[in-house]
């Protein structure tokens, strides 16, 4: 039975968050599966409300015009490209952790019909609001 002590609970949650971050970092560089081109998958947070879904997709350095969204068979599909930043002068890459190139993220949606109500890019994240439609 999990402890109800706040510091113990917070520590457990922090360890889980670190493990999730590690999995996401490893997942960034996995090539796409199936018939898709090689690509990386950005991390996603999804929140459901009574009226719809709020989706936040981490896309640091991606220009809004490089992002396409569509609905395909019960999934929200987000595709685009993150170009490798170019240095103002010749440079040696010492570390390259933020993925670049083509990305694609397919997000299974809860049952129902949705429409895109709002789309914006803020602080390196694509923010999408999906409105639930009545059947």
**Domain map of the chain by residue range?**
31-133
Structure confidence at residue 2 (pLDDT): 53
Model pTM above 0.75: no
Give the CATH number of domain 31-133; options: 1.20.1730.10, 2.60.40.790, 3.40.50.720, 3.40.190.10: 2.60.40.790
Q: How many whole angstroms separate alpha carbon 50 and alpha carbon 123?
A: 26
CA distances from 97 to 15, 26, 85, 128 (A): 21, 10, 12, 25
pLDDT in tens, 77-109: 999 999 988 777 888 888 888 898 999 999 999
Mean pLDDT, residues 64-76 taken together: 95
pLDDT in tens, 6-58: 777 778 887 787 777 766 665 555 544 444 568 999 999 999 999 999 999 99
At 3, the pLDDT band (50, 70, 90 cuts) reads low
């Amino acid at each position: 039975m999990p402890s109800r002590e706040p510091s113990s609970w917070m520590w457990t949650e922090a360890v889980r968050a670190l493990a999730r971050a590690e999995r996401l970092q490893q997942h960034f560089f996995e090539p796409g599966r199936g018939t898709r081109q090689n690509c990386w998958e950005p991390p996603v947070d999804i929140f459901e409300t009574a009226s719809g879904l709020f989706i936040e997709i981490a896309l640091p350095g991606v220009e809004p015009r490089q992002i396409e969204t569509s609905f395909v068979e019960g999934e929200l599909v987000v595709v685009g490209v993150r170009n490798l930043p170019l240095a103002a002068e010749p440079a040696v890459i010492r570390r390259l952790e933020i993925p670049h190139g083509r990305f694609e993220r397919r997000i299974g949606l809860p049952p129902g019909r949705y429409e895109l109500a709002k789309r914006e890019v803020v602080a390196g994240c694509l923010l999408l609001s999906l409105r639930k439609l009545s059947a």
